[in-house]
Chain A
Amino acid sequence: MGREVTRRRLFRSALGGAAVSLCTPLLDMALDDNGAALAATGQPIPARFGTWHWGCGMNPDRWTPAVTGADWEPTPELQLLAPHKKDFSLFTGYAAMLDGRANEPHISAVWALRTGYAPKTKEDIQNPSFDALIAKAAGGGVRFRTLDMAATGRRTDSYSTTGGGALAAPELSPLDLYQRVFGSGFQDPNSSAFKPDPDIMLRLSVLSAFGEERAALLRHASASDRQKLDAYFTSVREVEQQLALQLEKPPPAEACVVPSGPPRVLPVSTEIEEVTANHKLMVDLTLMALKCNQTKVFNIVFSPSASTLRKAGSADTHHLLTHQEAVDPKAGYQPGATWFSQRSLEGLAYLIAELGKAKEGAGTLLDQILVYAHSDTSYAKEHALDELPVIMVGRAGGRLKTGLHIREEGAPVTKTALTAMHAMNLRVGSFGSQSLEVSQAIGQVLV
């Protein structure tokens, strides 16, 4: 017994009853680094993964290019991403199926996409999200398995869950994020001096002492309580692993430039200019956390589903506008609501541009990363569950093709999630349940 978490147990609790079947044991998988290595150190470059969420979708007829494949032309609503066309692939036509359950506006589709099951209510979210499965498999070996953040500063703005209904707790400001990553416990990978911290050694050994308590509790607990305890002990194990890592001299990270101090403290709110400013700072810190090997996985929420974004002085939020604003008869869309979704995409464009500037080895972070960007709906006015917008940024260590427009009208959106998992070398056999169950990834984009 003891403290050793068996693979089987960790594996079970990692999946927490997810509708996922695996071809190979999860923990045996190491990420393929595609042979790329940093010139200075010879260290393999790890693959990285992120998600990026914006709320209230877009207008499908102004978004979707007419042509699929590599020769698509950026449409009016994709103009902001046009300079980066070769660095992402666009997925259109995918849908969330509810299998007879009610469409819970702004909840059904986003959670169907993330967990493979469209919940009846927000309380019904039980399976782990696919980003958490990727983090479980690929996020190890660094201090933080994931970094979660919400540019809107609201702690409920999260679409990541390891299962059992517990959503990840996002960092709510650039300062929080800075302190988490570069505050206490941070070791500069490029510092020549390294001495293992005896306090950390002690903490590690003390944390490892939970074995007996674990056995005593689990012996007599009901199935649902055992699941909670399992999740708890898995969390303990994860912190143990973090501590163990801090006792080793970190490998040098040539692109790591430790921020000289905390970021500017800006007001945190849902006002669009403030969200944009905070998002930029969060992106900058996240990229540095990647380059300094502090994390390999992140989840950014630019704006939540049912977008709370607003303009100073206006009574209307982005979400309210999508429902109340009249469609401009000449333009054919809601100008106010569309303005917000374009401002959101501007945030994504910033992320892509910064990834492209982040040199690493012979290339940039764009070569190694996959950022899965999506929204909670397409045409928000109708809470549409079809034509869900998905964008995959980056080449995932050479496993993902970019520059393509892939269209599958009416196909389950879980297919895009499965594809992302495969691109990250998480070889799950299937993902999702009922009509959302898929076992075929989108082959055209995988290398």
Chain B
Amino acid sequence: MAVAADQPREPVVSIRRLTQDQYRQSIADVFGDDIKISGRLQPDPRREGLIAVGVSQSSVSASGFEQYDSTARDIADQVTDATHRELVGCKPVNAAKSDDACARAFLGNAGRLLFRRPLQSTELDRYVGLAGQGAVARKDFYRGISTSLANMLVSPSFLFRTERAVWDGGHYRLDDYSVASRISFLIWNAPPDEALLLAAEHGELGTPDGLRRQVDRLLASPRFEAGVRAFFADMLALEDLDTLQKDPTIYPRFNSKLAADAREQTLRTIVDTLVRRDEDYSALFATRRTFLSRTLGVLYGMPVTSRGWEAYEFPAEDPRAGILAQPAFLMAHAHPGRSSPTLRGKAIRELVLCQQVPAPPPNVDFAIVQNVQDPKFATARQRIAAHNTQAMCTGCHKLMDPLGLPLEGFDGGAGMRTTENGAVIDLSGDHNGKRFVGAPGLGSALAADPALSSCLVNRLYSFGAGRTPAADDSGWLEAIRASSVADGLKIRAVVRAVALSDEFYRPEPGDGSAEVAAGPSASAKDAKETPHGS
């Protein structure tokens, strides 16, 4: 059934804009990969560590809407052009005129996939009406469809994931279509497919068995890889690579292709380690397996003969261990012409351990830190040590530098080195009282830190829910962390545990609509029951 009868709508409990990736994936899923999305989409803001949280706190600006509008018209024109119009699925009686029956069939189906729920009958009537109006104005059935589809693609029902709550046995929970979107975007970073929408329609997602069936189906699909990629691209802020600049005189091997390949290399390593090999999450920070393209081969000084990607494994003693020793991380957290142990340490704290490093005090004399001309301060370690003789600096730098200094064997362009300004670089570091050397040591130190696993679980929750955990989420998230660690911290198991938790589907406490805060109207609710959160 493509259309829902009109009924009173349930309270909206959250609204979040599709990310650029989710937008692109939605179009590809509904209309196919060959529909091109040219032009820019509204940028995704990052909040509280994730774009997934940022998009739930921001709206559509005027220039953003302009971009959505022109992209929508472009997509709708492609979908209805001569090469793609079989997507419409039916033929009009007369292609120069409107045809409500054919328009209704197409728009009902496309709308259900785009809005991630069946259209209400008045909604569908409106879109059929727009198709008719367009067909008459443009004397062409397909241009009418295009007009209506373009409107659908800028509708808030498409651009915003709108979650609604239903009253269920004493508390509110997300309705089945909202649950379908939650698991689908969490696991695939894509809108629900046909099977998932059917499961929602049949009420299966409201039952533990039905939910488990769908979650397991999604996890078993190859599309889980896309979900994992999206999650880590967000968690590790890999979008920084899109706008990264380096000084070409200092790092002549750097270019935008290298930055793009570096991003891809890290994502491939993540998918290979966590999804294909099902290894412990901490293996990401130790693995010597990676993938190289020709462009990366130049940076690594390694010949890559094929045009695509080649798997590569560094020998056991190689310093290039883990994703933090890969160019994506090393280049993004450095200056345009210089490495920065402080920036790298800060990024590890913030992105990988979910810890906030305070901003530097305003009136700091940085003169020594970067005074590369002074022979007493040849290496970054010597310069930072001098700087840290100032008490006001030491506190925060102790948090950052010992995690970044072990990566000083890589310059700001991710090239390997053993000396800086003629002095041998000391790669020792320490974390939580344990001393270690180089990237491999860093990987072991991180593996031993419980913050590594709790950061992963919290970020996964935030990625799925679009908000950081509330105070009363810490208990169940910690339980998931502890049991996952005991089983070897497998990404699939963590995602599954989050997706099968009742708590994951609780409307946000304190920020639901007035109805959710107060419970449904007296007529609708059992007088004996108390709504959750009241």
A-side interface residues toward B, CB under 8 Å? 102-105, 121, 123, 145, 148, 153-156, 162, 164-169, 198-199, 201-203, 205-207, 209-210, 212-214, 216-217, 219-222, 224-225, 227-229, 231-232, 234-236, 238-239, 242, 269-271, 308, 310, 312-317, 320, 323-326, 381-385
Cβ contact within 8 Å between B58 and A164: yes
Chain A contacts of B388 at CB under 8 A? none
The answer for the CA separation of A306 and B412 in the assembled complex, in Å, is 19
Known: A165-B45, A236-B65. A323 touches B370 (CB 8 A): yes
Cβ contact within 8 Å between A207 and B249: no
Known: A169-B42, A210-B155, A324-B367. A232 touches B59 (CB 8 A): yes
Query: Interface 1/0s, chain B 8-50, versus A by CB < 8 A?
Result: 0111111100000000000000000000000010110101100
Known: A154-B243, A323-B370. A213 touches B156 (CB 8 A): yes
Chain B contacts of A310 at CB under 8 A? 247, 336-337
**The 5 nearest A-B residue pairs measured at CB:** A315-B337, A323-B366, A324-B370, A313-B249, A231-B59
Known: A222-B512, A316-B370. A206 touches B134 (CB 8 A): yes
B123 at the interface (CB under 8 A from A): yes
B138 at the interface (CB under 8 A from A): yes
Chain B contacts of A209 at CB under 8 A? 126, 130, 151
Chain B contacts of A381 at CB under 8 A? 365-366
Chain B's closest residue to A325 (CB) is: B367
Chain A's closest residue to B250 (CB) is: A315
Known: A166-B45, A217-B162, A239-B69. A206 touches B249 (CB 8 A): no
Query: Interface 1/0s, chain B 50-93, versus A by CB < 8 A?
Result: 00000001111111111101000100000000000000000000
**Count of chain A to chain B residue pairs whose CB atoms are closer than 8 Å in the complex:** 201
The answer for the CA separation of A199 and B126 in the assembled complex, in Å, is 19
Query: Interface 1/0s, chain B 336-348, versus A by CB < 8 A?
Result: 1110000000000
Known: A221-B12, A316-B370. A270 touches B245 (CB 8 A): yes
Among A169, A220, A384, chain B packs the most CB atoms within 10 A around the CB of A220
Chain B contacts of A165 at CB under 8 A? 45, 47, 57-58
Chain B contacts of A308 at CB under 8 A? 245, 336
The answer for the CA separation of A206 and B148 in the assembled complex, in Å, is 8
Known: A217-B156, A232-B156, A270-B245. A169 touches B147 (CB 8 A): no
Cβ contact within 8 Å between A167 and B45: yes
Query: Interface 1/0s, chain B 341-371, versus A by CB < 8 A?
Result: 0000000000000000011111111110111
The answer for the CA separation of A269 and B249 in the assembled complex, in Å, is 13
B335 at the interface (CB under 8 A from A): yes
B215 at the interface (CB under 8 A from A): no
B133 at the interface (CB under 8 A from A): yes
Would you give 15 A-B contacts (Cβ < 8 Å), ordered by A?
Answer: A123-B47, A166-B45, A167-B43, A169-B43, A202-B137, A207-B151, A209-B130, A220-B10, A220-B513, A221-B11, A308-B336, A310-B337, A314-B337, A320-B338, A323-B367
Known: A166-B45, A235-B61, A320-B335. A202 touches B133 (CB 8 A): yes
B150 at the interface (CB under 8 A from A): yes
Query: Interface 1/0s, chain B 131-147, versus A by CB < 8 A?
Result: 00110011000000001
Chain A contacts of B514 at CB under 8 A? 222
Cβ contact within 8 Å between B64 and A166: yes
Q: How far is the CB of A406 from chain B (nearest CB, A)?
A: 26
B168 at the interface (CB under 8 A from A): no
Cβ contact within 8 Å between B337 and A216: no
Chain B contacts of A234 at CB under 8 A? 62
Q: How far is the CB of B93 from chain A (nearest CB, A)?
A: 22
Known: A123-B47, A229-B15, A310-B247. A316 touches B337 (CB 8 A): yes
Cβ contact within 8 Å between A221 and B58: no
Cβ contact within 8 Å between B359 and A166: no
B511 at the interface (CB under 8 A from A): yes
Query: Interface 1/0s, chain B 158-179, versus A by CB < 8 A?
Result: 0110101000000000000000
Cβ contact within 8 Å between A105 and B359: yes
Chain B's closest residue to A158 (CB) is: B43
With A202-B138, A235-B61, A315-B336 known, 15 other A-B pairs at CB within 8 A are A121-B359, A148-B63, A167-B45, A169-B64, A206-B150, A212-B123, A213-B155, A217-B162, A220-B164, A232-B156, A314-B249, A315-B412, A324-B369, A325-B367, A383-B363
Chain B's closest residue to A198 (CB) is: B137
Known: A217-B156, A228-B15, A313-B249. A235 touches B64 (CB 8 A): yes
Chain B contacts of A238 at CB under 8 A? 62, 65
Contact of B63 among A169, A227, A315, A320 (CB under 8 A): A169
The answer for the CA separation of A242 and B36 in the assembled complex, in Å, is 26
